[in-house]
Amino acid sequence: MKITSIIERLSGEDRIAIATEPPLDADVFLRFKTLYLKDHGLALFNVEFADGKLLFTNITVASVFPRGFGEGIERLLNEAETWARSTKRSLQQQADLKQATRKATLGAAAKAFGVPIQ
């Protein structure tokens, strides 16, 4: 996941809105937030999610973005995206297995009773 720009219309004196590619979704954001809050070197601001954008809030005029902040945020976003993708894939595999098992059970029952499945 790459940070592509700062969104001026969503940013203000106390917040910065960041656009990413691909766009941020709720699952990735929730995992990112967990990782971000555990990283004491990066967790300098509050984070929020709005309109597919990552918002850093509680920023003051005196705030300083430390060296490597952007790269660290991208690293966490990539970790969060990988986790979310893996989780979704695992859930899909479980659903597929459940569906295949259901069809096999229905097929076996239909064969045993000599009736069609409706």
Please choose, from the candidates 54, 44, 47, the residue with its C-alpha nearest in 3D space to the C-alpha of residue 23. 54
Cβ atoms of residues 45 and 58 within 8 Å = yes
pLDDT at 60: 80
74-103 per-position pLDDT tens digit: 999 999 999 999 998 999 999 999 999 999
24-71 per-position pLDDT tens digit: 999 999 999 999 999 988 888 999 999 899 999 998 866 778 888 999
Q: ∠ CA(86), CA(90), CA(91), 5° rounding?
A: 120
| Domain spans of the chain, in order of start | 2-108
pTM over 0.85: no
What CATH topology corresponds to 2-108?
Answer: Gyrase A; domain 2 (3.30.1360)
Residue 8, judged by CB atoms within 10 A of its CB (0-12, 13-18, 19+), counts as exposed
